Amino acid sequence: MKYGYARVSTVNQDLKAQIKTLEKEGCQKIYSEKFTGTKADRPKFKELLSILATGDTLVITKLDRFARSTSDAIQTIKELFNKGVKVHVLNMGIVEDTPTGRLIFNIMSSFAEFERDMIVERTQEGKAIAKQREDFREGRPKKYSKKQVEHALKLLETNSYKEVENMTGISKSTLIRAKRKLTAEGDKCE
């Protein structure tokens, strides 16, 4: 039987393209999940590995969807080969259980890990450079200005949270946090 495995790293990413590609490839059953590849605990992948048997084929779109590191990829591929399972990485080809097939797989796994490490390194360098700026703030930028929140808090004096939310678009939870922050700052001043 042909099994497919699709994975994206974040909740915001979409699995549709990978699933469509796996369906086109003729996979009868597709396992998918939204989990970062750096985590060893990928429940759907573990479930898939446990059911694969001799004669089955595991199909993945790209090598980086398969394993979190070169050593992890090599270990997993060895286990699959020992079970008699074929592995087909669509952007690379069928990984054969031959000395040449294993060598090519190991080299490609090393490149995939290297690429991921370089992305992490560049991200960290960019963050370090950004932190040197005086106006740097870690995290997501504020959706509403201080003035907008203050206006909404003023409206709360004569309106309900729901009414203020409808008027300003600022959620009740944001208003409650802003109110608490204001109260905490007021307590510090006393």
Give the active site residues: 9
Structure letter (DSSP) for residue 64: G
CA–CA dist 44, 51 (Å, integer): 11
**DSSP designation for 65:** G
Pairing of strands 86-89, 93-95: antiparallel
Angle formed by the axes of helices 161-168 and 146-155, nearest 10°: 140
Q: Which residues pair with 33 in a beta bridge?
A: 7
* CA distance linking residue 28 with residue 53, whole number of Å: 15
Q: Strand, coil or helix: what is 156?
A: coil
* Integer angstrom CA distances of residue 164 from 66, 79, 181: 48, 59, 18
CB 182 within 8 A of CB 154: no
Q: Which two tokens stand for residue 104?
A: 């090519």
